[in-house]
Amino acid sequence: MLLRAARRWQSLDVEPARIERATAEHGAAGGRATGTVVDAAGSTVLRYLVTWDARWCTRTVDVERASGPPLALVADGLGSWADDAGALPLLDGALDVDLAGSPLTNTLPIRRLRLAVGGAADIVTAYIPEGDRPPTTSRQRYERLAAMRYRYTSLDSGFSALLDVDPVGMVERYEGLFARIP
C-alpha cells in the first residue's frame, strides 16, 4: 500500500462529543476506508466502508446508521450510482461520497482534485445524511488556500469552513465541526 493511515476525530458541534475511528488504505489500484462513529455512551451512530478507484473516485459505499436502514451504493467512477433496487439517477454526476458526521470523506475530493495552492473546483457529491433520510446530491466547492489548508463551501446552503489537513490530505481540523485527536 502506498498510503495507510488510522485517525480519530472528535466532533465539536455535538454535545456530548462523538468520536470517529477510521482506517484508510490506498494503493495503485485504489483504496478503502472503514470507520465507526460512536456517541459518549459508546453506542454506534455510524459504521461505514467506502472504496475508491486509483483516481480517488468513490466506487462503493456501505453504511449502517443508528436510525435508518443500511445503505449499499455502487458507483461507476464516472458519475452514475445504483443500489440493490437499480439505478439512482438522483445521484448522477457525483464522483465522491460525503458522509454526514465524518470528516474522512473530505479526503477523497482533496486527493482526487489535486488542486494547486490558489486553485478551486466545484464538485457534486453523493451526500449521505444522518438519520433515515435517503442520499441526495450536494454541490460543493474546494479551494486550496495553502499547502495544508482548504476552504470547503456547500454551494447549496452557503455553509463554509476551513479544513486543515495533514500531508496525505486527511483532515486535522474542520472548523467548528471536527478535530483530530491522538
Query: Binning pLDDT at 50, 70 and 90, where does residue 2 land?
Result: confident
User: In 3-state terms, what secondary structure has residue 106?
Assistant: helix
Query: 26-43 pLDDT, tens per residue?
Result: 999 999 999 999 999 999
Instruction: Quote the pTM value.
Output: 0.95
Residues 131-173 have pLDDT tens digits of 889 999 999 999 999 999 999 999 999 999 999 999 999 999 9
pLDDT at residue 68 tops 90? no
Report CA-CA distances (Å) from 66 to 2, 39, 91, 131, 139. 33, 10, 23, 7, 26
CA 125 – CA 152 distance, rounded (Å): 13
Phi and psi at residue 153, to the nearest 5°: -135, 130
How confident is residue 67, by pLDDT bands cut at 50, 70 and 90?
Answer: confident
